[in-house]
Amino acid sequence: MTEPSVSSPSPVQDLIERARGGEARAVARLITLVESGSAALPEIASTLAPSAGAAMVVGLTGSPGVGKSTTTNELVRAFRAAGQRVAVLAVDPSSPYTGGAILGDRVRMQDHATDPGVYIRSMSSRGHLGGLSAATPAAVRVLAGVGFDVVLVETVGVGQAEVEIASLADTTLVLLAPGMGDAIQAVKAGILEIADIFVINKADRDGVEATHRDIQGMIALGGADRGPGDWRPRVVKAVAAKAEGIDGIVAAIEEHRTWLTDTGQLTERRRRRAAAEIEAIALGQLRARFADLPGAGLAALADKVVTGTLDPHTAATQLLDDLV
Amino acid sequence: MTEPSVSSPSPVQDLIERARGGEARAVARLITLVESGSAALPEIASTLAPSAGAAMVVGLTGSPGVGKSTTTNELVRAFRAAGQRVAVLAVDPSSPYTGGAILGDRVRMQDHATDPGVYIRSMSSRGHLGGLSAATPAAVRVLAGVGFDVVLVETVGVGQAEVEIASLADTTLVLLAPGMGDAIQAVKAGILEIADIFVINKADRDGVEATHRDIQGMIALGGADRGPGDWRPRVVKAVAAKAEGIDGIVAAIEEHRTWLTDTGQLTERRRRRAAAEIEAIALGQLRARFADLPGAGLAALADKVVTGTLDPHTAATQLLDDLV
């Protein structure tokens, strides 16, 4: 009798092993496979599922010019100093047509290029529906699944992008800088609802106390909706360009993490996140089917709406009738 | 034989007639009915369909503090002076949880409160998917359908909201102000791709020439992708708070309108807009069905993803299997 042959691992298993070992190229390949909806996706997703929730996911957002890249860079340094593997996803929701960051990657990479415990990737959030909501969560799951302890998701923006980052992250940091818009603008931008931690960056500038007061005032005003066990957003000051105040940011992140775990909010947030992700994937698949419909497909219906012979609601009903 | 009785108009027909006559309350009611997915929606949508493409839709976007409300206010004044009925939709994509602008409406309304040729409404773009894309286009169609000649859609933001406004409008204005971020930030924010007209507001401030030069440089760089018949974004200066430069903005809008019509781009843009709108409505209807699924619905699938026993892609497939 012959010994049973030792089966060799599949290409995907091999890729995942190499990614877990810290090979940046293997991580990149996995994310690309997942993003592109490759045939290997089911195997990747199911292999990584048990460990895909293991990372701490930190969102970081703020207006252009507030110092997001510099702050991210310093946070990476701090987490590395604590022995953690760190991945950065720099999501650029701004360039849907041309795709992606302009010089972000190359600038940042330089500081951490030789460190196998750091992985940095830019993603554009192309497209109308499901930009941040489709590719980014999938990439986060890959990064967590291959063993990164911290995943930092950085995105520009007010409004929609911020809301999406909050739905994606365990902990959301909102960066502000003195003199970049008053409290009313901040409230208008809805950041109070999504920020777990406010970072006042460039805190060596004039106006830092006024900004600090404004934010604290906003948080106090929002207090009516907070119960005794609820999280009250922290406000920390930093000068990321001089590496000042980074410890305070990390401490606030850890404090929030403890609160999330102790209150069960971590599981709650992740349930919502998973539901949104499943839904986005399902809707994406349906969208693809719309494009494949024969005959009176979407384009023909759109023509009728433009010429005024059909309204969009009737058109949508016809589209769904064709589909199901 | 008796004369056939003259049938009285339905409540919806009556509402539409009153809205066409300039009654703001009737306009508001129609938009609310459409937004809320009322049972009257099919009748409203089909009655308005023939005239729903008649308005010029102008999008206006820019960072907080750049002077969007003031500029909108002055544009309303200018279009009114030219005898046009003007509607403003102030979309606030920033406040998904609390819903809507904070003091926007009341401040603006004062200038035009007694003018039946002006209608102003704030909308929040609540929710994750299809915020701006679902309610706003429907409101634009109502406003066009009841006879507004110009619909101004104003939204805060960089990124996603800007992209959505560009997909909604015939002509997109991007407001900038001197000293509010350099050219690289502007390129990062993707505005070059969506702006038909750049307005440098607060042009009495220092740095206006540098901003002008930066924008012109960006436009020149983007020229490689432009054919001879393509639109080259215009750059105009204004001081909206002093009502200066408004004529120049209006002239640029009209110039762009002529280009759109002459090149057939107007129909092209509206086809794309209609397709996106139909798709958003259809996806919204499907989303509602997800929530109604019995048994192993979305929540149960999300739980399995959180505990690592299922990946989101397999979960999405199961969700769709249950649906269709």
pLDDT digits (tens, 9 = 90+) for B142-201: 999 999 999 999 887 644 555 666 678 999 998 988 876 544 455 545 667 788 999 999
Encoding tokens for residue A304?
């009728």
Of A126-140, B22-36, B121-135, give the lowest mean pLDDT range.
B121-135
Nearest-CA distance from B94 to chain A in Å? 4
Using the beta-carbon criterion (under 8 Å), do A133 and B132 form an inter-chain contact? no
- What would the DSSP string read from start to end of B172-234? EEEEE-TTSS-HHHHHHTTHHHH-SEEEE-STTSTTHHHHHHHHHHHHHHGGGG--TTSPPPE
| Number of H-type helices and E-type strands within chain A | 14, 7
Q: Using CB atoms, which residue from B102, B182, B311 is nearest to A46?
A: B311
Cα dihedral A68, A74, A76, A77, rounded to 10, equals 170
pLDDT digits (tens, 9 = 90+) for B254-311: 999 999 999 999 999 999 889 888 888 888 778 777 777 665 588 889 999 999 999 9
- CATH 3.40.50.2300 assigned to domain A51-265? The reply is no
Nearest-CA distance from A127 to chain B in Å? 9
Task: Write the class of the CATH domain B50-269.
Answer: alpha beta
Q: Which amino acid is at A254?
A: E
Q: Has residue A124 got a pLDDT over 70?
A: no
pLDDT digits (tens, 9 = 90+) for A96-112: 333 334 444 444 556 67
Residue A106 main-chain phi, psi, to 5 deg: -65, -40
Q: Is A181 on the interface with B (CB under 8 A)?
A: yes
Encoding tokens for residue A289?
């089917």
pLDDT number for residue B179: 77
Q: Has residue A163 got a pLDDT over 70?
A: no
Using the beta-carbon criterion (under 8 Å), do A312 and B281 form an inter-chain contact? yes
Distance of alpha carbon A44 from alpha carbon A33, whole angstroms = 9
Strand-by-strand arrangement of the A171-176 sheet: A118-124, A86-92, A150-156, A56-62, A171-176, A197-200, A234-237
- Rounded average pLDDT over B85-106: 57
pLDDT number for residue B135: 77
Q: Which pLDDT band holds residue B209 (cuts at 50, 70, 90)?
A: very high
- Mean residue pLDDT across chain A: 82
pLDDT digits (tens, 9 = 90+) for B107-138: 455 667 778 899 988 876 554 333 454 678 88
- What would the DSSP string read from start to end of A37-93? T-TTHHHHHHHHGGGTT-SEEEEEEE-TTS-HHHHHHHHHHHHHHTT--EEEEEEET
Cβ neighbors of B309 (< 8 A, separation 6 or more) are A49, A50
Q: How many residues appear in chain A?
A: 324
Nearest-CA distance from B103 to chain A in Å? 9
Residue B244 burial by Cβ neighbours in a 10 Å radius (0-12, 13-18, 19+) = middle
pLDDT number for residue B194: 83
Of A165-169, A248-252, A299-303, B276-280, give the lowest mean pLDDT range.
A165-169
Residue of chain B whose Cα is closest to the Cα of A270: B306
Using the beta-carbon criterion (under 8 Å), do A267 and B63 form an inter-chain contact? no
Q: Using CB atoms, which residue from B49, B93, B306 is nearest to A159?
A: B93
Using the beta-carbon criterion (under 8 Å), do B190 and A311 form an inter-chain contact? no
8 Å CB contact between B93 and B157: yes
Residue of chain B whose Cα is closest to the Cα of A181: B65
Nearest-CA distance from B14 to chain A in Å? 19
Q: Which pLDDT band holds residue A62 (cuts at 50, 70, 90)?
A: confident
The angle subtended at Cα B108 by Cα B104 and Cα B114, nearest 5°, is: 140
Q: Which pLDDT band holds residue A37 (cuts at 50, 70, 90)?
A: confident
Q: Is B141 on the interface with A (CB under 8 A)?
A: yes
Q: Is A52 on the interface with B (CB under 8 A)?
A: yes
Q: Which pLDDT band holds residue A296 (cuts at 50, 70, 90)?
A: low
Distance of alpha carbon B303 from alpha carbon B309, whole angstroms = 9
**In the A/B pair of chains, how many CB contacts fall below 8 A?**
283
Closest residue by Cα to residue A53 from A277, A282, A229: A277
At A150 the three-state DSSP class reads strand
Distance of alpha carbon B124 from alpha carbon B95, whole angstroms = 7
Using the beta-carbon criterion (under 8 Å), do B316 and A41 form an inter-chain contact? no
8 Å CB contact between B108 and B73: yes
The angle subtended at Cα B89 by Cα B15 and Cα A222, nearest 5°, is: 115
Residue of chain B whose Cα is closest to the Cα of A144: B308
pLDDT number for residue A222: 75
Q: Is B159 on the interface with A (CB under 8 A)?
A: yes
Strand-by-strand arrangement of the B171-176 sheet: B118-124, B86-92, B150-156, B56-62, B171-176, B197-200, B234-237
Tell which of B287, B305, B314, B322 to mutate to test the A interface (max A CBs under 10 Å).
Answer: B305
Q: Is B46 on the interface with A (CB under 8 A)?
A: yes
pLDDT number for residue A105: 45
Nearest-CA distance from A176 to chain B in Å? 13
Q: Which pLDDT band holds residue A257 (cuts at 50, 70, 90)?
A: very high
Residue of chain B whose Cα is closest to the Cα of A130: B129
Q: What is the C-alpha R_g of chain B? A: 22
Judging contacts by C-beta atoms under 8 Å, the chain A residues touching residue B190 are 92, 94-98
Using the beta-carbon criterion (under 8 Å), do B299 and A45 form an inter-chain contact? no
Distance of alpha carbon B137 from alpha carbon A107, whole angstroms = 40
- Rounded average pLDDT over A202-228: 85
Task: Please report, for chain A, the start and end positions of each structural domain, with discontinuous segments joined by +.
Answer: 51-265, 279-323
Cα dihedral A119, A122, A127, A128, rounded to 10, equals 80
Q: Has residue A178 got a pLDDT over 50?
A: yes
Q: Has residue B5 got a pLDDT over 60?
A: no
8 Å CB contact between A173 and A249: yes
Distance of alpha carbon A183 from alpha carbon A185, whole angstroms = 5
Cβ neighbors of A124 (< 8 A, separation 6 or more) are A91, A92, A93, A95, A96, A99, A100, A101
Hunting for tokens 């042959």 — which residue is that? A5
Residues of A numbered 260-289 whose beta carbons fall under 8 angstroms of chain B's beta carbons: which are they? Answer: 267, 270-272, 274-283, 285-287
pLDDT number for residue A197: 95
- Rounded average pLDDT over B70-86: 95
Hunting for tokens 């809301």 — which residue is that? A163
Using the beta-carbon criterion (under 8 Å), do A311 and B125 form an inter-chain contact? no
Q: Has residue A180 got a pLDDT over 70?
A: no
- Rounded average pLDDT over A49-75: 89
Q: Has residue A243 got a pLDDT over 80?
A: yes
Q: Using CB atoms, which residue from B102, B278, B324 is nearest to A301?
A: B278
Q: Is A225 on the interface with B (CB under 8 A)?
A: no
Q: Is B27 on the interface with A (CB under 8 A)?
A: no
Distance of alpha carbon A164 from alpha carbon A153, whole angstroms = 11
Tell which of B61, B188, B261, B272 to mutate to test the A interface (max A CBs under 10 Å).
Answer: B188
